[in-house]
């Protein structure tokens, strides 16, 4: 008898942009054998819609040397349309076309993902000085209310959760997709956490594209300085997750054949785990 696993899959906006056909095909089989929960981001789609509407996203450098997106009220509207709207519904539609009983919503709905809103951000302005920007609508995940998710799983639905979250005062807030997904995985006691993106793992070297098969949280933390772009943020999230008790944080591509089966049977991608 096969053991039924609870698997949380984070579908990155980067992967969604490339197409989720391979994932959906795999889920046709996997979702019958295991309980699947999808949590998705939508960064590139938010950026694209902003451009299309003539209100492009603004990015700033932070004092910590990261790049941050400024989510003001206008951008929050775009988040609602792109992430909660188009991306979420397209994932649900792709799954339902394969007869998978997908149910889409966001962390805002029902207050499923509660976050602490950060209403201002510290940036480095074009004069190289620290500056505070107010009216920010992003935040950090605080708690996950599992009731709705457990109910859906019990009734054989596959929850598809956009990472937009709910603040204590009821505002919609944009949160990091990997962190939202990890928080969901921890709250529902998931057996596996997989962050599916558009690369097959953490590259040792951007030119050779050699994948690092496994890293401890300490190795991952030390490696962050060598990494740029979205992967840097993902490694921060992975280290934080392992330190808070998550057993494994798996990073793999959703563009290969049968990505989830491949991880379950062949241990593919980069596996970050405790020392």
Ligand X SMILES: Nc1ncnc2c1ncn2[C@@H]1O[C@H](COP(=O)(O)OP(=O)(O)OP(=O)(O)O)[C@@H](O)[C@H]1O
Q: Which does 203 bind (CB under 5 to 8 A by kind): ligand X, Mg ion, none?
A: ligand X
Residue 12 binds to ligand X (criterion: CB under 6 A):
yes
The residue among 100 and 272 lying less far from Mg ion, judged by its C-beta, is: 272
Cβ within 8 Å of residue 74, ≥6 positions away? 55
Find out whether 158 and 102 touch, Cβ atoms under 8 Å. Answer: yes
In the bound complex, what is the minimum distance in angstroms from residue 246's beta carbon to Mg ion?
17
Contacting residue, 50, 107, 139, 230, with Mg ion by CB under 5 A: 230
- Return the SS3 of 39: strand
Q: Which does 94 bind (CB under 5 to 8 A by kind): ligand X, Mg ion, none?
A: none
> For helices 21-33 and 259-266, what crossing angle results, to 10°?
60
Bridge partner list, 39? 10, 161
Q: Give 197's DSSP letter.
A: E
In the bound complex, what is the minimum distance in angstroms from residue 253's beta carbon to ligand X?
9
Give the residue at shortest CB distance from Mg ion.
Answer: 230
Site track for ligand X across 158-197, x = CB under 6 A: -------------------x-------------------x
Residue 238 binds to ligand X (criterion: CB under 6 A):
no
Dmax over CA atoms of the chain, in Å, equals: 64
Contacting residue, 7, 8, 9, 14, with ligand X by CB under 6 A: 14
Contacting residue, 234, 238, 239, 260, with ligand X by CB under 6 A: 234
Q: What is the number of helices (H) and of strands (E) in the chain? A: 10, 14
Contacting residue, 141, 202, 239, 264, with ligand X by CB under 6 A: 202
Residue 82 binds to ligand X (criterion: CB under 6 A):
no
Residue 199 binds to ligand X (criterion: CB under 6 A):
yes
In the bound complex, what is the minimum distance in angstroms from residue 249's beta carbon to ligand X?
12
Residue 107 binds to Mg ion (criterion: CB under 5 A):
no
Edge-first strand listing for the sheet containing 158-162:
102-106, 158-162, 35-40, 6-11, 192-197, 248-253, 270-273, 214-216
- Return the SS3 of 119: strand
Site track for ligand X across 33-72, x = CB under 6 A: --------x-xx----------------------------
Site track for Mg ion across 171-210, x = CB under 5 A: ----------------------------------------
**If we measure between CA atoms, which residue out of 50, 48, 41, 40 comes closest to residue 71?**
50
Find out whether 184 and 39 touch, Cβ atoms under 8 Å. Answer: yes
d(CA 101, CA 236): 33
Interface residues with ligand X (CB under 6 A) are 12-15, 41, 43-44, 177, 197-199, 202-203, 206, 227-231, 234
Interface residues with Mg ion (CB under 5 A) are 230
């Amino acid at each position: 008898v096969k053991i039924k696993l609870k698997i949380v899959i984070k579908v990155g906006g980067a992967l969604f942009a490339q197409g989720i056909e391979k994932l959906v095909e795999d889920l046709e089989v996997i979702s019958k054998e295991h309980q699947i929960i999808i949590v998705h981001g939508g960064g590139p789609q938010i950026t694209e819609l902003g451009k299309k509407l003539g209100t492009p996203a603004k990015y700033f450098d932070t004092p910590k040397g990261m790049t941050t997106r400024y989510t003001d009220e206008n951008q929050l509207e775009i988040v609602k349309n792109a992430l909660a709207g188009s991306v979420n519904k397209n994932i649900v539609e792709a799954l339902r076309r394969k007869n998978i009983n997908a149910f889409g919503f966001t962390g805002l709905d029902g207050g499923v993902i509660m976050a602490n809103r950060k209403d201002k951000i510290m940036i480095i302005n074009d004069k190289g000085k620290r500056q505070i920007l107010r009216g920010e609508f992003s935040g950090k995940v605080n708690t996950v209310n599992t009731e709705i998710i457990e109910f859906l799983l019990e009734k054989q639905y596959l929850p598809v959760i956009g990472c937009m979250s709910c603040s204590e005062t009821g505002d919609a807030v944009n949160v990091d997709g990997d962190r939202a997904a990890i928080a969901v995985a921890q709250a529902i006691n998931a057996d596996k956490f997989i962050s599916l993106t558009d690369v097959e793992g953490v590259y040792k070297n951007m030119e050779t594209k050699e994948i690092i098969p496994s890293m401890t949280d300490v190795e991952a933390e030390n490696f962050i300085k060598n990494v740029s772009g979205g992967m840097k943020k993902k490694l921060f999230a992975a280290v934080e997750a392992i330190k808070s008790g998550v057993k494994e944080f798996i990073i793999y591509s959703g563009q290969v054949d049968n990505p989830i089966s491949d991880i379950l049977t062949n241990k593919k991608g980069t596996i970050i785990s405790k020392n």
